[in-house]
Amino acid sequence: YLDLFAGSGALSFEALSRGAKQVTSIERNLSAFQSLEKNRKLLKSTKISFLNQDALVFLNQRNTEIFDFVLLDPPFNKNLVSKALKTLKNSDFVTTHSKIYIESEFEITQSFLHENFSEKIEIIKQKQSGAVNYCLLEIL
């Protein structure tokens, strides 16, 4: 499980509580990162790791681990969903059947995915609640 924009870490800790074997969370903001590390230590968890790094820089690094689930919940109105998908596409962090969950300020369409990721991705489920759009994808 890879959480590229951890923020409060709520979704990372939730994944862990629901049985994720290992969670890697990326958070650029130092204050948020320090809070995440404090919470990890309080929980005494060895199954979750936090990195204080920019998500796009992280995705551009060489990788030896393939993630079956990637979470994209970046700050809104910064074009980060598009940038993260394009970078993820050119990485070796995901493979066939990996799932990507996105929370965004706009509806994710198949044409948006073709433009920013690949034609080999499918929308499994999509919902909207207020100003937030939720989308679950699977790489084909």
Catalogue all structural domains in the chain, each as residue range(s) with its CATH number: 2-139 (3.40.50.150)
Instruction: Concatenate the DSSP letters of all residues of 39-69 into one string.
Output: HHHHHT-SSEEEE-S-HHHHHTS--S---SE
Q: At what angle do helices 30-43 and 10-17 cross, to 10 degrees?
A: 20
* 113-127 CB burial, b ≥16 within 10 A, e <16: beebbeeebeeeeee
Query: Rounded to an integer, what distance in angstroms lies between the CA atom of residue 46 and that of residue 22?
Result: 8
Q: What is the pTM of this model?
A: 0.94
Per-residue pLDDT tens listing for the chain (140 residues): 999 999 999 999 999 999 999 999 999 999 999 999 999 999 999 999 999 999 999 999 977 889 999 999 999 999 999 999 999 998 989 999 999 999 999 999 999 999 999 989 999 999 999 999 999 999 99
